[in-house]
Structures are given as C-alpha cells and as structure tokens.
Amino acid sequence: MSADRAALDEALERGEEEGGPVEFKERLSREVHLADGRMESLAAQLRHRVLSGDGEATYVVGVTDDGQVAGIAPEAFSESMDVLSLLADEAGAHLDEVETWAVQPGDEDADRGVVGVASVCEGAVLETDDEHIVVGTAGHVDHGKSTLVGSLVTGDADDGEGGTRGFLDVQPHEVERGLSADLSYAVYGFDDDGPVRMDNPDRKTDRARVVSESDSLVSFVDTVGHEPWLRTTIRGLVGQKLDYGLLTVAADDGPTRTTREHLGILLATELPTMVAVTKVDLVDDDRVAAVEREVERLLRDAGETPLRVERHGVAAAAREVGDVVPVIRTSAVTMAGLDTLDDLFERLPKTSDRGEEFRMYVDRTYSVTGVGAVASGTINSGAVEAGDELLLGPMADGSFREVEVRSIEMHYHRVDRARAGRIVGIALKGVKEAAVERGMVLLPGDADPSPVRSFDAEVMVLNHPTRIGDGYEPVVHIETVSEAATFYPEGGQLLPGDSGRARVEFKFRPYLVEQGQRFVFREGRSKGVGTVTGVHTD
C-alpha cells in the first residue's frame, strides 16, 4: 500500500471534468455496472477518458462524485478493479497500474477503508507468445553475478563498486550490505534492432516496457553466492524451470569451493551451463588465462567439455551448449564480453518442455490491496489465462482449493495469458494470502492431483563425512519444495560417491511429487542429487 499520496492528491486536485482524463467512482460492482446496456455505456465513457488523456486515463475509486474521499472495503475495491479491468478490455484498453491508500471513514471505531488510483492505458493487454528463456546465475559471493546481470539489462557500465546490482529486484538491506540474501529477478529483450534494455531500472513501468517492446526475452533468476544461503541458491536453481545456467568466476579470485558446489548443482540438474570469467579488468591477461585454465580443469574433472567463446565463436557456443560449456571473458566495468553475451542469449533456443497441461509451483506469495493474494513462480508447463479456474495445494491435510485467476503480471506488465517458462505473479480469487505457501502447486480446475508423503528415488551422494543410513534427515529441494525428509536407503546405507535407491518420506506434510522430477538434498555440507522413480499415494 502506497504511503506517498502524490498521485491521489494530484488526481483530486485536477478533478473530474467533462472532456478530461480523470473519472471518480465510489465503487464498481459486477451486478450494477456490468448489467445489460450499462457495460457498453461505461466502456464508451472509459474510452473517451483515455482519448482525452492522450492514451491514458486516471480512475479514482473510493471517492464520491464531488471528490470527497470516502473509502470502501478492500473486498469492494478488489471487485471494482475486476470490473474496471473488464470495462477497459471492452474499450480496447488495459489496467496498467494501481496505487492504494488506507483511509479511516467515520469515527475511530469504523472499519479501515481503501481509496485507490488506477491508470488505464490505450491498447489491449499484451499477448506474450514470443520466445522467452530463463537463465539462473550462480557463483561465489562477490564474483560479480548481480553486477554482470545489472549491466546486461541496462547497458550501463558498473562503477567498480557493484552499483548496477541495485538494478535487480533486491531488498534495501541487500543493497546496503552489497550481499544478496534472496533470489532476485531481472529482464531484458531483443527486437529487430538488437537489445531492448531498461532506461530507468528503478521504475517498474520500465521493466513492463521492455516486456511489451521485445520480440524475445531473457529473464534472469539471480541466486545467492554467500555460503550460509546455499538453501536459497538451490531453490533458485532447482525450482525455477530454468533453461540455462550462468556460473560466474572472478578473475581476481578463481574457482572456490562454492564455485564447485554451484557447478555441481547445475550439472546434477542437467542444466545447459555457461561460465563467465568476470572482473577481467582487475588483472592482467596472464592471470585471466590462468583462471580460464582452472575453470577448464574444473569442468573436465566434472566430465564436461569447455569451449572458449573467444576462440571458437558465439555461433558454435549457441549451437553446442549442453554438449559443451562455453567460457566467456567479461567485465561489467569496461563492458568487455557483454556484447558477446548479448549475441549468445539472442541465439539460444528455449530448452524446457512446455507440456500441455498448466502447472506452476509457488515460489513466493504476497498480498496486494485491492487485488488480494498473489502467487509467483515460473510456469512449469502449459499456459494460463485471466479468468481460468485452478486448483491450489496441497494444503497441510492433502486437499486442494478451488481458486480463480484474477490477473497475471510478468515483470510488472499485466498480461492476458502466459505460458511455460514465464516468471509471473498470478493474483488469485478465492483464497487469502496466508493460506498460500511456497511448495504448493497451481493446476487446472479439472485436474485430479494425488499428493504424496513418500516416494522412491535413484540418488547419488555427492559428499558426506560418513555413510548415509536409515533415518538420515536432510532437506529435500524438489521444484520449489524445501522440506525435511527421512531417507531409507536400499541395503541400509550409501557411502560418499555411491549411487543407489532409497525411499524418501516428507516429515511434516504432503506435496505434489511425480516420477521423473529431479531433486537436491543437503544437510550441512553434505549434499546429493536424485530422481523420483515412483510415488506412494496411500
């Protein structure tokens, strides 16, 4: 909910006048304002307001006709936004941005109300049938992951202090400390003239512009390099339906233990991977070459074939990535190698299977006043549209709840439809935000899901100080699920480096798990990977 009332005060001061772009509404209801004949006249009125404002109208909801702030219940405001969105669609426009404020109507004991300002812009809601790849970054802390991504999406050189990392979706305390503590996101795209970048990354609308103007998109899921947040890094690499991995290695430091761990996770999840040697401006060519050799040894030890893009070219790297690991020299300060990455990303095809049936595992949840509960994540398969009826769950008791898609946003741009590989926020009708949890899944309303408490798996122990026996309790990361589980290895034990079968049981609640899904498990510095081979639905 916005604190600064500048937009509201400006709209109230301009007032509602004949032939102007501002419209006051106390509330809008489906029963009254979408009735036969009324919808057409209100859509015509909206169209007139939009044309009067050179393509943008301002609707102030929760005020009387004479501009007095009255405030309405959050549920009524949410319904008003639904109705306004339908009217905008009828008028060939779309609801672009909504700001809300709490008001206190009547006496001090009255219920808190809401007043809001909605921007309605000309043009239908964006259709997103373009190519869209999702890249997950990994690497040791201070090896330049976020800074590199920040320079890519803006085209701006870094100041040498990591300034461009602030252009990602990061929290204030992360900017202050210079360390990422959660996943962050960024986007840029391409059209016929080349890269489409953000001009003002601090404005959400600028990210929306990139989405609307691009023919193809690259979304980044920027993970955490600090070792204590390995759990968050695994969540980003396992749960986001990535197409590619980008591992960063700083030229002034070289590969570290964290580098090896992150590379192991990328390769264990069979993600086509590239390596960016960063900060080449800080060292001489001999040091850069030495780090490249270290990276190549690391890759060969893991059974991978390195390919120096500087030597073999971008076309070969794009064609062979997955069979080889391209290695690129970069500097966010001098912008060296960033045009090579642009060229590579523009050429890369989408790799993840789009499937036919919609599915999205929930990664984040939040609540927006006037909109309600929002579940965000990467669409695993299929497509979703505004108005779709879905199932959300499993709840703690294994049940699923019926919900409706109120609206969809992709990088702050409202879209009518989104399909596999898109990072989206889906506003849900029929559920409170407190009931939506990470690890839940959204499915079509006619699906018949069977949540499980245990499953069989083929596992490999990457590293562990001793043996893994019956009752071993790591955290399992599967899709966006991060849950304590108990292992029961076939034969009673698994040693470091061993592969074998095991039964895995979630300790606290059921989840939707299916055959073929890959997962990572960890406990302290002990780590392993696995593939689900069967599930127990009893």
Among 389, 412, 444, the domain-final residue is 444
Q: What is the pLDDT of residues 235-264, one digit of tens each?
A: 545 555 678 999 999 999 999 988 888 888
Sequence-distant (≥ 6) Cβ neighbours of residue 242 within 8 angstroms: 134, 135, 136, 221, 271, 352, 378
Look over the chain and give the mean of its residue pLDDT values, rounded to a whole number. Answer: 82
pLDDT at 159: 84
CA gap 388, 404 in Å, rounded: 6
pLDDT at 176: 37
pLDDT at 182: 41
pLDDT at 468: 80
Would you say residue 212 lies in a domain? yes
Among 93, 122, 151, the domain-final residue is 122
Q: Is the pLDDT of residue 268 over 90?
A: no
Residue 321 and residue 202 share a domain = yes
Q: What is the pLDDT of residues 316-327, one digit of tens each?
A: 999 999 999 999
Would you say residue 206 lies in a domain? yes
**Residue 328 tokens, joined:** 């690129």
Q: Is the pLDDT of residue 231 over 60?
A: no
Would you say residue 505 lies in a domain? yes
Side chain identity, residue 301? D
Mean pLDDT of 169-182: 38
Would you say residue 449 lies in a domain? no
Residue 498 and residue 462 share a domain = yes
Residue 159 and residue 282 share a domain = yes
**Residue 432 tokens, joined:** 């409170």
| C-alpha angle 3-181-98 in degrees, rounded to nearest 5 | 30
Sequence-distant (≥ 6) Cβ neighbours of residue 228 within 8 angstroms: none
CA atoms within 13 A on the CB side of 96: 21
Q: Rounded to 5, what percent of the chain is helix, strand, coil?
A: 25, 35, 35
Residue 229 and residue 255 share a domain = yes
Most confident option among 77-91, 106-120, 140-154, 463-477: 140-154
Would you say residue 352 lies in a domain? no
Among 61, 93, 122, the domain-final residue is 122
- Binned at pLDDT 50, 70 and 90, residue 428 comes out as very high
Count of the separate structural domains present in the chain: 4
pLDDT at 230: 46
CA gap 508, 483 in Å, rounded: 8
Residue 233 and residue 154 share a domain = yes
Residue 81 and residue 148 share a domain = no
- For the chain, percent of residues with pLDDT exceeding 70: 83
Residue 286 and residue 237 share a domain = yes
Residue of higher predicted confidence among 355 and 472: 472
Would you say residue 28 lies in a domain? yes
Mean pLDDT of 44-63: 89
**Residue 300 tokens, joined:** 């060969």
Asked if residue 144 lies in contact with residue 248, where contact means CB atoms within 8 angstroms, the answer is: yes
Asked if residue 268 lies in contact with residue 280, where contact means CB atoms within 8 angstroms, the answer is: no
pLDDT at 60: 93
pLDDT at 525: 62
Q: What CATH number is given to the structural domain containing 524? A: 2.40.30.10
- The answer to which of 54-68, 350-364, 417-431 has the lowest mean pLDDT is 350-364
Q: What is the pLDDT of residues 434-461, one digit of tens each?
A: 999 999 999 999 999 999 999 999 888 8
CA gap 501, 483 in Å, rounded: 20
Q: What is the pLDDT of residues 10-44, one digit of tens each?
A: 888 888 888 889 999 999 988 888 887 788 899 89
Residue of higher predicted confidence among 376 and 128: 376
Would you say residue 218 lies in a domain? yes
Q: Is the pLDDT of residue 490 over 70?
A: yes
pTM: 0.63
Residue 212 and residue 258 share a domain = yes
Q: Is the pLDDT of residue 228 over 70?
A: no
Residue of higher predicted confidence among 201 and 421: 421
Residue 147 and residue 72 share a domain = no
Residue 402 and residue 326 share a domain = no
- Binned at pLDDT 50, 70 and 90, residue 167 comes out as low
Would you say residue 464 lies in a domain? yes
- Binned at pLDDT 50, 70 and 90, residue 520 comes out as confident
Residue recorded with tokens 């102030």: 60
Q: What is the pLDDT of residues 301-315, one digit of tens each?
A: 888 999 999 999 999
Q: What CATH number is given to the structural domain containing 304? A: 3.40.50.300
Residue 142 and residue 34 share a domain = no
pLDDT at 169: 45
Residue of higher predicted confidence among 214 and 413: 214
Mean pLDDT of 513-536: 84
Which residue range forms the structural domain that includes residue 522? Answer: 454-536
Residue 400 and residue 300 share a domain = no
